[in-house]
């Protein structure tokens, strides 16, 4: 008996990386899986139907049940069609795992409008679109008296929640938006028996992260790999399963560590009765404890690079921006 026996699950971006590992794990736990992936490049261009088909073949070869869907989550009707694929193939839909994403990394001053829009269309709008079509089906079933556990598992990232990574303005914004969307959706969809949570992988080795310093190194065979994208799969499966009581939560996953994110929370404060003057604020705000984004980035890189000083960190940021800039464009 698997933890997901009898559950029909739609997983977007399931052809590679974290999504692929989730699809394989969910199927091994007894789920019937819709493997969604248009097979695009990292930047969202191109397409290869064989990417999703290969994962389906791998699942069925192991005795599992799966079908492929190659629609884009950024396509409104495509999002509807992938939900319909689950209903037509397996008769119902119990959980959605929103994993699809793309990256187009450049410094903010060089980032084209179309690149920013493209990333948000997949990461944020795509998460909304698939969830929205699934929610409409679940609302209809709930109104018809069918009261069973349903679940949405969104996917965010340390980039956007914890680790401020230069050149990732669009990617970070999309991931932060997904986390915010998770909490709103949890409050709205609970009336239909739907739980909504989010996993936030941090330092997982995928084709999107292999160029990050330290990410390309793999441990000797047989030793636990904390950067293996498979580390996210059991956490997502738990959140998608009927035994999970959680909703509205964002869980960071880094190797064998699972941590609850507290989101944007109030810290230290100053107060006066009436309006502040600029001069008063200048004096009082300096006493407030604040998080320095340089310190956050340095902490995120410590595991891969050791201790990184501020000057060295700025050199790395400058080099990254120069590398990502369009040919012939100066960033400084």
Catalytic residues: 171
Strands 257-260 and 250-254: antiparallel
Distance CA 244, CA 151 (A): 9
- Alpha-carbon distance of 23 to 41, in angstroms, equals 19
Handedness of CA 11, 17, 21, 24 (dihedral sign): positive
H or E element: which one contains 8?
Answer: strand 8-12
Neighbours of 281 (CB within 10 A): 12
CA angle 131/132/137 to nearest 5° reads 95
The total of other beta-carbon atoms located within 10 Å of residue 70's CB is: 22
Dist. CA 241–CA 151, nearest whole Å: 8
């Amino acid at each position: 008996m698997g933890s997901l026996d009898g559950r029909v699950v739609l997983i977007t971006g399931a052809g590679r990386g974290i999504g692929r590992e989730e699809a394989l794990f969910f199927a091994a736990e007894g789920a019937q899986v819709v493997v969604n992936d248009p097979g695009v490049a990292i930047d969202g261009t191109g397409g290869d139907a064989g990417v999703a088909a290969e994962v389906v073949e791998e699942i069925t070869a192991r005795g599992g049940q799966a079908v492929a869907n190659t629609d884009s989550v950024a396509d409104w009707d495509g999002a509807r069609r992938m939900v319909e694929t689950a209903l037509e193939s397996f008769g119902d839909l119990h959980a959605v795992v929103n994993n699809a994403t793309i990256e187009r990394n450049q410094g903010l001053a060089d980032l084209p409008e179309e690149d920013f829009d493209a990333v948000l269309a997949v990461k944020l709008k795509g998460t909304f679109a698939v969830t929205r079509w699934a929610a409409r089906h679940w609302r209809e079933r709930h109104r018809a008296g069918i009261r069973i556990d349903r679940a949405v598992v969104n996917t965010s990232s340390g980039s956007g929640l914890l680790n401020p990574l230069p050149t990732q303005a669009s990617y970070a914004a999309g991931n932060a938006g997904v986390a915010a969307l998770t909490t709103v959706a949890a409050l709205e969809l609970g009336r239909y028996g739907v739980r909504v949570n989010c996993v936030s992988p941090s330092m997982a080795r995928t084709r999107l992260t292999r160029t990050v310093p330290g990410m390309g190194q793999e441990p000797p065979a047989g030793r636990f790999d904390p950067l293996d994208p498979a580390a996210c799969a059991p956490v997502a499966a738990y959140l998608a399963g009927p035994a999970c009581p959680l909703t509205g939560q964002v869980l960071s996953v880094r190797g064998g560590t699972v941590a609850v994110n507290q989101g944007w929370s109030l810290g230290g404060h100053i107060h006066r009765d009436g309006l502040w003057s600029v001069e008063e604020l200048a004096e009082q705000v300096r006493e407030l404890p604040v998080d320095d984004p340089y310190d956050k980035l340095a902490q995120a890189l410590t595991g891969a690079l050791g201790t990184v000083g501020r000057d060295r960190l700025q050199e790395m940021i400058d080099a990254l921006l120069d590398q990502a800039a369009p040919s012939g464009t100066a960033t400084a």
